Amino acid sequence: MATLKCSFCGNAIPAGTGLMFVRNDGRILTFCSSKCDRNMEMGREGKKKKWTKFFEKGAAGAKAKEPKEKKETS
């Protein structure tokens, strides 16, 4: 059996555990824990939570964006 991935945090879900939710549009969401399920219901994004695998540094907006350098044209 293929290993499933949590739709919120990206962790692997062992066989026989987790929660599967099917939306009205047919999209299947799988969750490894009730923590992930609740966070998705509240509308939070996994990429903004430090404890998820989807988190990227700077994704939460903690760092200020550096201005891009302008290229000079002759």
Number of domains into which the chain is organized: 1
Q: Is the pTM of this model over 0.75?
A: no
- Find, among 35, 29, 1, the residue nearest to 15 by Cα: 1
Domain of residue 26: give its range. 4-48
Residue-wise pLDDT tens digits, 31-49: 999 999 999 999 998 889 8
Tell me whether residue 59 is in a domain: no
Does the pLDDT at position 54 exceed 60? yes
49, 35 contact by CB (below 8 A): no
Tell me whether residue 62 is in a domain: no
E strand map for the chain: 4-5, 12-13, 19-22, 28-31
Tell me whether residue 37 is in a domain: yes
CATH label of the domain that carries residue 28: 2.30.170.20
Tell me whether residue 61 is in a domain: no
Tell me whether residue 10 is in a domain: yes
Tell me whether residue 63 is in a domain: no
Q: How far apart are CA 63 and CA 30, in angstroms?
A: 31
